[in-house]
């Protein structure tokens, strides 16, 4: 029951968030600030994760290539497909749900309990639109960039690991990377990413905005934000895959 009430409250929140910003100049500046905190500051962790995941995928595929019928370029093909279809958009989004989600929820939650949100409201500012909309826009713009970056690095990671452990050659790997390439896969992956970015930021903002009590409660709502946005990502991933790929 509580869950359903929360979903209703969440939808109502979105309704207020998407009202026209008071001043476009301020909205634009806030959006660029958020691109910095949500997007650019996430580049290092995304890079690190992607290189290692791509590397491990390539190694695992290589070590399972006992069947002589399979051509050598299968390693590149599988590394590319799994990175583009699932690892970059979904796994990296789940990691970002942890990083960005807790950041957003605790920032907004702290503003709530220290009455900063009340102060905004008293001035006549639409606090939801002022605080949340730039974050959502930043995520929707920058998540696809982050994930494209992650795909590239995942594939590079795969290549590096193969070269270092001498399991394949650059030429064979490249053939695999290019083999049966569908632009549709990228479109599918980036569509997922945009949805995930939206879910992470809006759900975390929701938990922060409606936080009550003290610092302990802000911690609690930021944990809930991470858990709920991760679950939302998994469900959305399933539904989107059904809708787009099948």
In angstroms and rounded to an integer, the radius of gyration of the C-alpha atoms of the chain is 21
Other C-beta atoms closer than 10 Å to the C-beta of 219 total: 15
The residue from 44, 68, 124, 214 that contacts other proteins (CB under 8 A) is: 124
String of DSSP letters for 150-188? HHHHHHHHHHHHHHHTTSS-HHHHHHHHHTT--HHHHHH
Judged by CB under 8 A, does residue 243 bind other proteins? Answer: no
Judged by CB under 8 A, does residue 118 bind other proteins? Answer: yes
CA dist 206 and 14 (Å) reads: 9
- Of the listed pieces 74-82, 86-94, 118-126, 132-140, which binds other proteins according to CB under 8 A? 118-126
CA dist 31 and 54 (Å) reads: 31
The residue from 122, 164, 234, 245 that contacts other proteins (CB under 8 A) is: 122
The residue from 5, 11, 123, 246 that contacts other proteins (CB under 8 A) is: 123
Judged by CB under 8 A, does residue 125 bind other proteins? Answer: yes
What is the per-residue binding string for other proteins in 52-91, x denoting contact by CB under 8 A?
----------------------------------------
- Of the listed pieces 83-91, 112-120, 140-148, 187-195, which binds other proteins according to CB under 8 A? 112-120
The residue from 36, 63, 64, 114 that contacts other proteins (CB under 8 A) is: 114
Judged by CB under 8 A, does residue 121 bind other proteins? Answer: yes
Q: Residue 235 half-sphere exposure, CB side, CA atoms within 13 Å?
A: 8
Nearer to other proteins, 70 or 125 (CB): 125
The residue from 13, 14, 56, 116 that contacts other proteins (CB under 8 A) is: 116
Scan residues 4-43 and list those touching other proteins (CB under 8 A).
22-23, 26
- Of the listed pieces 124-132, 150-158, 191-199, 236-244, which binds other proteins according to CB under 8 A? 124-132
Residues that bind other proteins (CB under 8 A): 22-23, 26, 110-111, 114-116, 118-119, 121-126
């Amino acid at each position: 029951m509580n869950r359903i009430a929360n979903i209703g409250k969440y939808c109502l929140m979105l309704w207020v968030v998407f009202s026209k910003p008071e001043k476009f100049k301020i909205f634009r500046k806030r959006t660029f600030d958020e691109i910095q905190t949500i997007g650019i500051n996430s580049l290092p962790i995304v890079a690190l994760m992607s290189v290692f995941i791509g590397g491990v995928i390539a190694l695992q595929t290589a070590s399972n290539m006992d069947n002589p019928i399979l051509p050598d370029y299968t390693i590149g093909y599988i590394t590319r497909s799994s990175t583009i279809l699932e690892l970059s958009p979904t796994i990296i989004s789940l990691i970002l749900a942890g990083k960005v989600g807790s950041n957003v929820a605790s920032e907004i939650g702290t503003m709530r309990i220290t009455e900063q949100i009340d102060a905004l409201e008293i001035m006549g500012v639409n606090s939801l639109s002022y605080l949340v909309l730039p974050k959502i826009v930043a995520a929707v713009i920058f998540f696809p960039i982050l994930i494209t970056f992650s795909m590239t690095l995942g594939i590079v990671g795969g290549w590096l690991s193969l070269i270092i452990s001498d399991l394949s050659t650059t030429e064979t790997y490249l053939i695999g990377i290019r083999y049966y390439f569908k632009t549709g896969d990228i479109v599918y992956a980036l569509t997922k990413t945009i949805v995930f970015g939206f879910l992470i930021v809006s759900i975390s903002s929701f938990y922060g905005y409606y936080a009550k009590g003290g610092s302990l409660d802000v911690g609690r709502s930021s944990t809930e934000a991470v858990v709920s946005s991760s679950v939302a990502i998994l469900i959305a991933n399933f539904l989107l895959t059904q809708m787009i790929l099948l």
